[in-house]
Chains A and B, each alone.
Chain A
Amino acid sequence: MTTASSAIGRQDPGFIEVDNTIDPISGRAPLVLGCRDFHDVTHGVCRVNEAPKAPLAWWVAFSIALSFVGLLGVCVLYLIVTGVGVWGLNNPVMWAFDITNFVWWVGIGHAGTLISAILFLFRQKWRTGINRFAEAMTIFAVICAGLFPGIHVGRVWFAYWLFPIPNQMDMWPQFRSPLLWDVFAVSTYFTVSLVFWYIGLIPDLATMRDRAVGKVKQFAYGFFALGWRGSMRHWHRYEVAYLLLAALATPLVLSVHSVVSFDFAVSQLPGWHTTIFPPYFVAGAIFSGFAMVVTLAVPARELFGLKNLITLRHLDNMNKIILVTGCIVGYAYSMEFFIAWYSGALYEKFAFLNRAFGQYWWAYFIMVGSNVITPQLFWFKAIRTSIPLMFALSIVVNIGMWFERFVIIVSSLANDFLPSSWDAFFPTWVDIGTMLGAIGLFATLFLLFCRYLPMIAIAEVKAVMPQADPHAHH
C-alpha cells in the first residue's frame, strides 16, 4: 500500500466515548482509545501534520502569537538601545519582572522533563500520550527563560562573559557564584532536553518521511530522520540510550531548579536566605509545568482530534499531580512562616509578615489563593475530569505561580534591612510588553511544532498497545 492511498483510503476511527479513568477489576483501562491497529495510531497523529491546510483556529492563534513576538522584538530592541532603565527597576528592587519571568519559564519547563524522564523511569505507561509535546513545551519554555537573564545584564553585547571563554583581559567567570551555576545549569538543561527530544523524535520523523508526499517534505523529514529504518539492532542501542538519557535527565531536572533557587537562597537577604528553597522550588516548578501541560493539551486535543490518544485518563492523572504538588507548595509556604517565627531572627520575621500584610499583600493573596486553595478542588473527580474546569484551574495555577516568583523576588527586595532604602516597584509598559511578548514567542514556537512535527510519540504509543505484545494469542 502506498502512502497516498493509506492516507486517503482509511476512515478515521472517530472519537470513542469510553471512560478510561476507572480501571476494570481484571486489569488496567486502555491508554489508547478507538485505534484498531498500529496504522490507526500512525494515521491519527500524522494526519494533523499532513493536512494541506491548518485549521482556521490555528491561523488565528498563530497570527495573535506572532504579533506578540513583534511586541517582544520592539521591547527588547528598545531595552538594548536605551538601557535597563526602561524597566521599572530601582534601587533596591534591581530584579523584578525579568527574573520573575525567568524563574517562571524555567519552572514550566520542568514538567516536560518530569514526564519524559522521571515517569519513564517509574514505568508509567500513560506518559507516552503526552511526553512529546510536554518535551517540546520544555524546550520552548527554556528558550523564553534564557532570554531574560540574557537581556537583563544591561550590556547585552557582553553576555558572552557568562561563559568561561579565554579573553584578552585574562578574566574568568566567578565560579563560586550561584549566578554562574545557573548559567551552567540552564544551558545544560536546554542542551540535554533538546537531545532527549530529538532522539525521541527520530523514529517518528522516519514515519513522517515514509508517508510524506512532495519532495520538500520528503527531504526535510528524511534529512532529520537520519536514515532511521527501524532496525531492531538499532532499537536495542536506542532503548539503552533512551534509558540512560532518562536517568541523566532526572537528577538534572532536580538540580536545575535547585540551582535557580540558590540564586536567592545563597544570598543574605531576609525572605531569600532559606534552606527550604531547593525542594520548594522544584515542587513549584513541577506544579506550574503540569498546569501548563494541561493548558496546552486541552485545546490541542480538541483542535487536532487527538482525544483517542490524549485521553481523559491522561488529564485526570495530570490533575492529580497538580493536586499533590500544590499541597507540597502549600506546605512550603507555611513552613517558611514557621521557620521565620522559630528562627527568632528579627529581619526574617519582618520579611514574612511584610510579604503577607505589607505593600504587596494582594500579590501574596493571589499566590496563596491560586496555588494552595483552588487546586484543592482537584480532590473531586468530577472536577478532575471536567474539561472546562480543569482548563480554567490550570490557568489559575499558571497565574498563581507567576505571582509566587514575583512575591519572593520583589517583596524581599523592596523592604530589606534598612527602612531608609525601602522602595516599591511598578512595572512599565516595557516590563509588561516583554512578559506578554515572551508568552507570544512560546505560543508561536508551540504552534509551529503542532503543525510540522508529530505531537505524539507514535512509536512509543504503539509499544504500549495490547497488540504490541509479541506473546499475545490472537
Chain B
Amino acid sequence: MSTLTIERPTATKAHDGSTSRLWGLMAEFKTPAAIFEAAGRVRDAGYRHWDCHVPFPVHGLDKQMGVKRTIIPVIVFFAGLTGCSVGFLLQAFTNGTGAEWSFWAIVWVTGYPFLISGKPLLSIPAFVPVMFELTILLSALTTAGVMLLFNGLPRWNHPLLAKKRFLRASDDRFFIVIEARDSRFIRSKTEDFLKSLGATHVEAVED
C-alpha cells in the first residue's frame, strides 16, 4: 500500500504555470450501451467515488452503478402530512375558535369564529379543499427542494464544468468520472483501467 500511495493526487503544472491538484479522471464513451457495460465493470472494480455523466437518464444505468434508491418519497410523505395538518389547523383556528396565539410574541393573532351557511364552527368537509391544496403544495415544494439539496445543487463551480470536452455531456457524449479521492484511485492504473473499458478518450480533471 505504501508504494502505491506515491502516485496518489499530486500537484501538476497547468498551462498557465499555476499548480493545480488532480481531481479525477474522465473517460468518454460514445453510446449508452458502451457506458452501461463500462459502468458495471467500474462498480465491480470496487470504486466508490465515481459517477456517470450522461445527457439523458440512461435506462437502468443507476441500478447498474449500484445507486441505492433515494429516500425522497419518504420525506415527501411527511411533508404532505405536514401540509394537510397545517391546512386543518389554520382553518380550525381562524374560523373555528376565538383563541389567541402568538408567533414568538412578535405577531399576535386571534381567531374569528363565525357561523355561515348553517355549517358548524368545525366544518371539516368545507375545510377539505384547502387542506388538500396545502398537502400538494408542501409536497411539491419539498420534492423539488430536497432533490436539489441531495444533489448538492446549485453548484456553479464544479471542476468538470471547466473541461471543454465535458461540454458534450449535455449533448451526445457519455462520461465516466473516477475521483482522485477514491481509495482505489492510482492515476496510471485507473487510467489504464478506463481505457480497457473501451473509452474513446481519457483525460485528467484538475481541481
User: Which residues on A are within 8 Å of B, measured CB to CB?
Assistant: 1-3, 6, 37-39, 42, 164, 166, 170-178, 180-181, 184-185, 188, 191-192, 195-196, 198-199, 203, 206-207, 209-211, 222-223, 226-241, 244-245, 248-249, 251-252, 255, 259, 262, 459-460, 462-463, 467-473
Contact = CB atoms under 8 A, between A and B. Distances in A.
B33 A471 contact: yes
A10 B115 CA distance: 71
A6 B168 CA distance: 10
B182 to A, nearest CB: 14
A176 B61 contact: no
Contact of B67 (A38, A210, A232, A252): A232
Contact of A185 (B69, B133, B153): B133
21 contacts: A6-B171, A176-B117, A176-B123, A180-B130, A184-B129, A188-B136, A192-B137, A192-B140, A195-B140, A195-B141, A207-B170, A211-B171, A227-B158, A232-B57, A236-B70, A237-B150, A240-B73, A241-B72, A244-B139, A469-B33, A470-B58
B107 A227 contact: no
A153 to B, nearest CB: 19
B151 A175 contact: no
Contacts of A207: 55, 170-171
Given A199-B144, A239-B57, 12 more contacts: A164-B90, A185-B129, A192-B137, A203-B56, A207-B55, A210-B167, A231-B151, A240-B147, A244-B72, A249-B140, A470-B35, A472-B33
B59 A469 contact: yes
Contacts of B127: 175-176
B134 interface: yes
Contacts of A255: 129, 132-133, 136
A15 B53 CA distance: 31
Given A240-B70, A468-B56, A42 B133 contact: no
A3 B147 CA distance: 29
B170 A248 contact: no
A37 B32 CA distance: 12
Contact of A184 (B130, B146, B166): B130
Interface in B114-150: 114, 116-117, 119, 123, 126-127, 129-130, 132-134, 136-137, 139-141, 143-144, 146-148, 150
A326 B59 CA distance: 37
A171 B111 CA distance: 8
Interface string B81-101: 000000000110011000000
Interface of B: 31-33, 35-36, 39, 51-62, 65, 67, 69-70, 72-73, 76, 90-91, 94-95, 107-112, 114, 116-117, 119, 123, 126-127, 129-130, 132-134, 136-137, 139-141, 143-144, 146-148, 150-151, 153-158, 160-161, 164, 166-172
Contacts of B35: 470
A470 B70 contact: no
Contacts of A249: 140
Q: Which among B32, B107, B119 has the greatest number of chain A C-beta atoms within 10 A?
A: B32
A248 to B, nearest CB: 5
Nearest to A250: B136
B140 A459 contact: no
B91 to A, nearest CB: 4
A231 B152 CA distance: 11
A191 B55 contact: no
A227 B119 contact: no
B56 to A, nearest CB: 4
Give the 7 A-B CB pairs with smallest separation, nearest first. Answer: A470-B36, A226-B154, A38-B172, A241-B147, A172-B94, A181-B129, A232-B52
B28 to A, nearest CB: 12
Q: Which among B33, B123, B172 has the greatest number of chain A C-beta atoms within 10 A?
A: B172
A191 B35 CA distance: 37
A375 B54 CA distance: 43
Q: Which among B114, B117, B161 has the greatest number of chain A C-beta atoms within 10 A?
A: B161
B151 A248 contact: no
Nearest to A249: B140
Contacts of B73: 240, 244
A203 B170 contact: yes
A170 B123 contact: no
A321 to B, nearest CB: 24
Nearest to B144: A195
A236 B54 CA distance: 12
A175 B32 contact: no
Contacts of B160: 229
B133 A188 contact: yes
Contacts of A230: 53-55, 169-170
Contact of B140 (A176, A185, A191, A470): A191
B199 to A, nearest CB: 16
Q: Which among A173, A176, A467, A473 has the greatest number of chain B C-beta atoms within 10 A?
A: A176
B149 to A, nearest CB: 10
Nearest to A177: B116
Q: Which among A164, A176, A191, A230 has the greatest number of chain B C-beta atoms within 10 A?
A: A230
Contacts of A191: 137, 140-141
Given A180-B130, A195-B141, A251-B136, A470 B95 contact: no
